Chains A and B, each alone.
Chain A
Amino acid sequence: MALVHIDGDDLVVVMEGLDKLWALKSSLTIPLANVRGATEDPGISAEPKGIRAPGSHVPGVITAGTFHLDGEKVFWDVKDPSKAVVIELADERYSRLVVQVEDPRATVALVENALR
């Protein structure tokens, strides 16, 4: 599970509990100017994720860490696909973040509102 919040002009994603171990990352800070949008996407976990390095991938249990797909780097931290949110980035190390949050609808609204 990840906590997503806005801190000034930044989007901050904090990995909770053991997720920080699986994902090998405790938090990510992205300038809002480099955030293109957020979308609820429970279906994304069913798609090929690419090659993992580094991080953990136990199919059906947890997808966490950095994945390489079609020349893009995607950061994952998802156990429950029904709560996955996709945050699309520009000019960042990661092309997008796929994170599990408590309330996907609220997180999407938070991010999209911060971009207006």
Chain B
Amino acid sequence: MGRRRAFDEDEVVRAAVGLFGGRAYDGVSVDDLVNHLGVHRNSLYKTFGSKRGLYLIALRRHVVDDVRPLVDALATATDAAAVLGLITSADLGLLLLAAVERAPADEEVAEVVAAALAAVDQSIADALGIPTELAAALTAAALGIRLRGNPEGVGVALTRRLDPLG
């Protein structure tokens, strides 16, 4: 629309990824956005339309900035242990929160989350030469382990049983 903006939209979206990823959607008010992103309320509405509008853009940005690198790294994984290591150490804060909090209530969020996880599954399947269903099971296990705070020995116990997978 060719509007002149007094702020760096890219920076604002990146900061929103951190805010939504750290506090969840419902935990971030417009006041929080105004205070933390350094953008006037009017500009926020004019640029993104709504809080949900900004959230969707931030979520897609998170996929490009944080999930894509994971997908690329997984392409070089040689066994289940490597896959688990990569997934449990990646920055997936907003994706995981979105999957739990917003995806059940928001189809568009659900689609973005599903597509991101499908890309992770596919990368694992291709790297290890296994069916995508098995890759999805591995992703699910890795995310579960991650949600439980990556307790010591759990990943190793699983991969000792799994490898070699191919």
Which A residues have a C-beta under 8 Å from some C-beta of B?
A: 36-44, 47, 69-70, 72, 86, 88, 95-96, 108-109, 112, 116
Q: CA separation between A35 and B52, bound complex, in Å?
A: 13
Inter-chain contact A37/B52, CB cutoff 8 Å: yes
Q: CA separation between A36 and B41, bound complex, in Å?
A: 15
Q: A42-B31, A44-B41, A112-B52 are in contact. List 4 more A-B contacts (CB 8 A).
A: A39-B50, A43-B34, A86-B50, A96-B45
Inter-chain contact A69/B42, CB cutoff 8 Å: yes
The number of residue pairs between A and B whose CB atoms lie closer than 8 Å in the complex comes to 50
In the bound complex, residues from chain B placing their C-beta under 8 Å from that of A40 are: 30, 51
Q: CA separation between A37 and B44, bound complex, in Å?
A: 12
Inter-chain contact B29/A42, CB cutoff 8 Å: yes
Q: CA separation between A108 and B49, bound complex, in Å?
A: 12
Question: CB-CB contacts of B51-81 with A at 8 A, as 1s and 0s?
Answer: 1110000000000000000000000000000
Given contacts A44-B41, A47-B41, A72-B42, contact A37 B29 (CB under 8 A): no
Q: Is B152 among interface residues, defined by CB-CB distance under 8 A?
A: no
Q: With CB as the reference atom, state the residue of chain B lying closest to A95.
A: B46
Q: CA separation between A48 and B99, bound complex, in Å?
A: 37
Instruction: Say how far B159's CB is from chain A's closest CB, in angstroms.
Output: 41
Given contacts A69-B42, A88-B45, A96-B45, contact A36 B50 (CB under 8 A): yes
Instruction: Say how far B112's CB is from chain A's closest CB, in angstroms.
Output: 13
Partner of A86, one of B34, B45, B105: B45
In the bound complex, residues from chain A placing their C-beta under 8 Å from that of B31 are: 42-43
Instruction: Say how far A99's CB is from chain B's closest CB, in angstroms.
Output: 14
Q: CA separation between A27 and B152, bound complex, in Å?
A: 61
Inter-chain contact A36/B49, CB cutoff 8 Å: yes
In the bound complex, residues from chain B placing their C-beta under 8 Å from that of A39 are: 30, 45, 50-52
Inter-chain contact A37/B49, CB cutoff 8 Å: yes
Instruction: Provide 27 A-B residue pairs closer than 8 Å at the C-beta atoms, listed in order of the A residue.
Output: A37-B48, A37-B50, A37-B51, A37-B53, A38-B50, A39-B30, A39-B50, A39-B51, A40-B51, A41-B29, A41-B41, A42-B29, A42-B31, A43-B30, A43-B31, A44-B41, A47-B41, A69-B42, A70-B42, A86-B45, A88-B45, A88-B46, A95-B46, A96-B45, A108-B50, A108-B52, A112-B52
In the bound complex, residues from chain A placing their C-beta under 8 Å from that of B11 are: none
Instruction: Say how far A92's CB is from chain B's closest CB, in angstroms.
Output: 13
Inter-chain contact A43/B52, CB cutoff 8 Å: no
Instruction: Say how far B47's CB is from chain A's closest CB, in angstroms.
Output: 10
